[in-house]
Structure 1
Amino acid sequence: MMLDYPALAAVAAVMREGSFERAAERLGVTPSAISQRVKALEERLGTILVVRGQPCTATSLGRRLCAHVDQVQLLEADLASSLYGAETPVTLKVAVNSDSMASWFPEAAAEFARNSGCMLEFILEDEAHTADRLRSGEVVAAVSADPSAVQGCRTIELGEIDYLACSSPAFIARHFPDGVTAQALNQAPCLRFDRRDGLQARWARERHGIDLDPPTHWVPSTLGFLHFALEGMAWGMQPVVLARGPIERGQLAELSPSTSIRVTLYWTVARLQASALKTLTDAVRRVARSRLIQPD
Structure 2
Amino acid sequence: MDLQLDQLRALDAVISEGTFEAAARRLNVTPSAISQRIKALEDAAGRILVQRTKPVQPTDSGLTVLRLARQIQLLSGDTARELGDAHQPTDRPVSIPIAVNADSLQTWVMPALGRAAAHGVCFEIHREDEEHTTRLLRDGTVMAAITSTATAVQGCSVRRLGAMRYRPTANPEFMRTWFALGASAKSFAVAPVILFDRKDDMQFRLIRQYTRKPLNPPRHYIPSSAGFADAIRLGLGWGMMPDLQLRPDDALIPLDDKAFFDIPLYWQQWKLDSPALTMVAETIAAAATAALR
Of 74, 95, 112 in structure 2, the residue corresponding to residue 91 of structure 1 is 95
Equivalent residues in 2 for 1:65-144, closer than 5 Å = 65-84=65-84, 86-87=89-90, 88-114=92-118, 116-144=119-147
Deviation by residue 1:62-93 (Cα, 9 ceiling, x = unmatched): 22322211111111122223333753422000
Distance in 1 separating the partners of 2:151 and 2:169: 30
* Partner-residue secondary structure (3-state), 1:281: helix
Deviation by residue 1:144-203 (Cα, 9 ceiling, x = unmatched): 111112111111010111111112211221122221111221222211112221211222
Asked if structure 2 preserves the Cα contact closer than 8 Å seen for 1:207 and 1:259, the reply is no
Asked if structure 2 preserves the Cα contact closer than 8 Å seen for 1:18 and 1:56, the reply is yes
Deviation by residue 1:11-65 (Cα, 9 ceiling, x = unmatched): 2111111211111111111112212222333344343322233322222222232
Give the direction of change, closer, same or farther, for the CA distance of 1:99–1:79 in structure 2 (3 Å limit).
same
Residue identity matched to 2:112: A
* Partner-residue secondary structure (3-state), 1:147: coil
Distance in 2 separating the partners of 1:211 and 1:262: 22
Corresponding position of 2:284: 284
Residue identity matched to 2:264: T
**Deviation (angstroms), 1:209:** 4.3
Distance in 2 separating the partners of 1:200 and 1:53: 38
Corresponding position of 1:168: 171
Asked if structure 1 preserves the Cα contact closer than 8 Å seen for 2:136 and 2:142, the reply is yes
Matched, 1:151 2:154: yes
Query: CA RMSD for the aligned pairs?
Result: 1.8
Asked if structure 1 preserves the Cα contact closer than 8 Å seen for 2:184 and 2:210, the reply is no
- Greater Cα offset, 71-80 or 117-126: 71-80
**Structure 1 residue runs without a partner (length 5+):** none
Corresponding position of 1:235: 238
Of 177, 181, 185 in structure 2, the residue corresponding to residue 178 of structure 1 is 181
Asked if structure 2 preserves the Cα contact closer than 8 Å seen for 1:154 and 1:271, the reply is yes
Distance in 1 separating the partners of 2:83 and 2:240: 51
Distance in 2 separating the partners of 1:53 and 1:182: 49
- Greater Cα offset, 11-20 or 203-212: 203-212
Asked if structure 1 preserves the Cα contact closer than 8 Å seen for 2:168 and 2:260, the reply is yes
Asked if structure 2 preserves the Cα contact closer than 8 Å seen for 1:74 and 1:274, the reply is yes
Asked if structure 2 preserves the Cα contact closer than 8 Å seen for 1:64 and 1:138, the reply is no
Corresponding position of 2:260: 260
Matched, 1:188 2:191: yes
TM-score norm. by structure 2 comes to 0.92
Residue identity matched to 1:17: E
Distance in 2 separating the partners of 1:206 and 1:245: 29
Residue identity matched to 2:95: T
Distance in 2 separating the partners of 1:90 and 1:177: 54
Q: Runs of 4 or more off by more than 6 Å in structure 1? A: none
**Deviation (angstroms), 1:102:** 0.3
Percent same amino acid among aligned pairs?
38
Deviation by residue 1:224-266 (Cα, 9 ceiling, x = unmatched): 11111111111111111112535xx32x221222312111111
Query: How many corresponding residue pairs?
Result: 289
Distance in 2 separating the partners of 1:208 and 1:261: 17
Corresponding position of 1:270: 270
Residue identity matched to 1:274: S
